Amino acid sequence: MKEILKVIAAKSLTFMALTFIAANTASAETMSAMDIVKKANHAFLYQGIDAKSKVDMSIIDGQGRERTRQLTIVRKNLDQDDGKQKYYVYFSKPADIKKMVFMAWKNLNTDDDRWLYLPALDLVKRIAASDDRTSFVGSHFFYEDVSGRSITEDIHQLVEETDDYYRVKSIPKAPRAVEFTYYKTRIDKKTFLPTKTEYFNEQEIVYRTFSALNIEMIQGYATITVAQMADNISGGKTILKSSEVKYDVGIPEKIFSERYLRRAPKKYLR
């Protein structure tokens, strides 16, 4: 009787093991490139209901000359589908750009709305969709990099998978609207954060590279605290170092309006 029970137990364990393997295999097979990109987009841009951080920006040209800026980034999610979202970016240093503000409203199925307030001229400037991929206040990041590119603007293909990461190739649906032919992103399997993105031009040369240089756990969220965008042609780069990162702080939607471009909501920027 004991032998029979041992055989039954062994078969049960084998069956359970095979079921577990099959389930995990099926899960891996059913995770498409778009599924991976959606999770990465959420981890990178949408964690928490809202978020705030102080950022030190270092802009280094090809000859090693450095300029610095200090800013505060505030964002708020407006739906549960990683779609509508608002950004408010306030510059505090250096003196010549103090009180400058960049604001963005991410929309669904339409171009995002973006504004730049220039205090020296007391001018509010609308940033056209055609300017999304131009330099963000003189850095190597583009305006689109700050608030994120919509994942529906590209066709995504899973081109590599290892034990540690996925690599996804993304091809623009409207190639004439961008300066790249395609880009490849390495996505960490544990955090789903994009750790490296390489932009390719028509000559198949990587001319621009985003790198996550440091990741920390903050309030249970894996967070990129040091990021770099490098211009591989000129040799220049911009490094962003985030500190005082806080999630779910209760930021009201009202501050993301033209009224607060000229009058910064200091209570939520401290």
**Structural domains of the chain, with CATH:** 33-268 (2.50.20.10)
CB 68 within 8 A of CB 56: yes
Residue ranges of E strands in 162-236: 165-172, 182-188, 194-200, 206-218, 221-231
Rounded to an integer, the average pLDDT of 33-53 is: 97
- Per-residue confidence (pLDDT) for residue 248, from 0 to 100: 98
In the predicted structure, residue 229 carries a pLDDT above the cut 60: yes
Distances (CA, A) of 252 to 27, 118, 124, 184, 248: 39, 24, 22, 36, 11
**Residue 210 confidence class, pLDDT cut points 50, 70, 90:** very high
**Residue 237 confidence class, pLDDT cut points 50, 70, 90:** very high
Spatial distance between the Cα atoms of 268 and 246, rounded to a whole number of angstroms: 11
Percentage of residues in the chain having pLDDT higher than 90: 83
Q: Return the structure tokens found at 221.
A: 């969220």
**Among 208, 215, 214, 213, CA closest to 233:** 208
pTM beyond 0.85: yes
**Among 206, 222, 83, 211, CA closest to 148:** 83
- Per-residue confidence (pLDDT) for residue 15, from 0 to 100: 44
Spatial distance between the Cα atoms of 46 and 221, rounded to a whole number of angstroms: 11
**Residue 31 confidence class, pLDDT cut points 50, 70, 90:** confident
Q: Return the structure tokens found at 142.
A: 């583009």
Which residue did the predictor score with more confidence, 46 or 10? 46
**Among 238, 233, 230, 240, CA closest to 209:** 230
Rounded to an integer, the average pLDDT of 23-45 is: 79
In the predicted structure, residue 256 carries a pLDDT above the cut 80: yes
| Tens-digit pLDDT profile for residues 85-116 | 999 999 999 999 999 999 999 987 788 999 99
CB 187 within 8 A of CB 200: no
- Per-residue confidence (pLDDT) for residue 80, from 0 to 100: 85
